[in-house]
Amino acid sequence: MFSFCHLSQGLVSPGRWLLAATLLLATTASHAQAPVAGRPLSLKEALELARTQAPHLQAKAYQVQAAEADIAQTKTQRLPSVRLSGQVSYGSTNAVAGTMLPIGTIIPSSGSLSGDNSYNAVFGSMGTALAEWSPVTFGQYPAQRARAEAARGYAQADADNELFTQQLRVAQTYLDLLATQSLRRVREQDVRRVAVLKKTITRLALNGLRPGVDSTQARATEAQSKLALLSAQEQEADRQARLSTLLGQPGTTWQPDTLYNHTLPPALVPPAAPHPTLGLQQRAIDLGQARETVIRRQYRPRLSLLGATWGRGSGLGYNGQTDYGLGGAAPTRFNYAVGVGLVFDLLDWPRVQAQAKAENLRTQGLQAEYRQQQLELSNQATLAEQRLQLAAERARQAPLQLAAARQAYRQKLALYNSGLATVVDVTQALYGLQQAEQDQVLTANAAWQAVLLQTAAAGDFSFFFTPVTP
């Protein structure tokens, strides 16, 4: 509270009594906090809302399911394939003997060579059933299976890391919203205090007890105080909107738990837990190595078991007779065949080697990024510890600063009341009090921000709740 014990005990003018009374009212009003409208929200509730409602986390979950579906698809490659086909054609019967190499699209022309060229057409048909199974792939199938599982592991690690990152974003925005709400309350108190002070100074200036320039300075101070309040309100609205976006809740106003503005966290040692970001980096390395293995094993041969049956019909008989009707469309000859096939591309080695080298270099790049991430997390942990120590020291100094600023403000008011100080002196003391009040309300919040930084470096978000768990 403001004290006027430093005033002289002599005769006090009516203007000075008015100044004392109005300043006392301003002090009382500055300690009253206006209620904040908004839905009460604890940090755990915010994190749960983000986990279940954030669309981009749902997108990550779908990517994990897609990776699992890819594994199921890879398993089906062990199954044999059976292809059925059939056609009925109508065309000329001129046949030409000879050999053709398999390139492009080839229309087969089989049969004995005809005596002359004829464009007479007959019906023909062909129906086939071809089965192929590759029980021996010399490691190609296991490599593809390992790649699919590595892709699933990467998708899951990506989802876990995104969830952890989202938790950090939510907690950061949550604490930022608390800080901006505290700043807004400080600005509201300051606006009320400055308004009363301006009114008093203006009355004194009108009564000739103070120069007119004092009232002008008071109006400027009031305008500046209101601008600071508008800026704080704008920041609060921005944090509200950002938090609603992170929680997947459109157009909601939140009231976070003020515990993080009133309670300092104790010093704790973060647990040694696997970091989601490092886990994601390691999964990316594993996936790159699996891809390289698949590429290298593409050069290996593939052993296949083959089986087929087919039937054929033709309007051209074995004796050269021609049936121009639909009778040629019915199959008249049936065949079957079984065999073993081996496919090996002898000259594919340079291409495979080039692809494998490119994939290996990408994997080495991922390993370098992994080491960089380790370095950054280590330095972040050191920085978080230093910030906690500084936050503890700030918590000790902030009340001393506030008490000194209040006393300095009261003294300047008393001197101004006695005509021994100018309005500029009062304004400077007012700025010092504003800064001290701001530092006081942000002390605990800054400490929790440091704990959040520790949590981000540790990779275990449960550590953040350890200090406040009953």
- How do residues 275-306 score in pLDDT, each as one tens digit? 999 999 999 999 999 999 999 998 999 889 98
Residue 58 lies in a domain: yes
User: H/E element holding 39?
Assistant: strand 39-41
Q: Is 191 in contact with 229 (CB distance < 8 Å)?
A: yes
Residue 366 lies in a domain: yes
CA distances from 288 to 143, 230, 364, 374 (A): 12, 52, 9, 19
Residue 417 lies in a domain: yes
Contacts of 72 (CB under 8 A, 6+ apart): none
Q: What angle do CA 39, 45, 50 make, to 5 degrees?
A: 100
pLDDT of res. 27: 39
Using the 8-state DSSP alphabet, how is residue 134 labeled? E
Residue 274 lies in a domain: yes
Average pLDDT over residues 241-260: 88
Find the CATH number of the domain harbouring 65: 1.20.1600.10
pLDDT of res. 198: 77
pLDDT of res. 97: 66
Average pLDDT over residues 303-320: 84
Residue 457 lies in a domain: yes
Average pLDDT over residues 317-333: 77
Question: How does pLDDT run across 178-217, given as a tens digit for each residue?
Answer: 999 999 998 898 888 888 777 777 777 777 667 777 778 7
Q: Is 460 in contact with 469 (CB distance < 8 Å)?
A: no
Range of the domain at 406: 14-72+143-290+353-468
User: How far is the C-alpha of 356 from the C-alpha of 292, rounded, in Å?
Assistant: 5
Residue 66 lies in a domain: yes
Residue 125 lies in a domain: no
Residue 441 lies in a domain: yes
Quick check: 469 pLDDT over 70? no
Quick check: 376 pLDDT over 80? yes
Q: Taking the model in full, what pTM does it have?
A: 0.76
Q: How many CB atoms lie within 10 A of CB 37?
A: 7
**13 phi, psi to nearest 5 deg:** -70, 155
CA Rg, the chain, in Å?
41
Q: Is 78 in contact with 148 (CB distance < 8 Å)?
A: no
User: H/E element holding 420?
Assistant: none
Query: How many folded domains does the chain comprise?
Result: 1
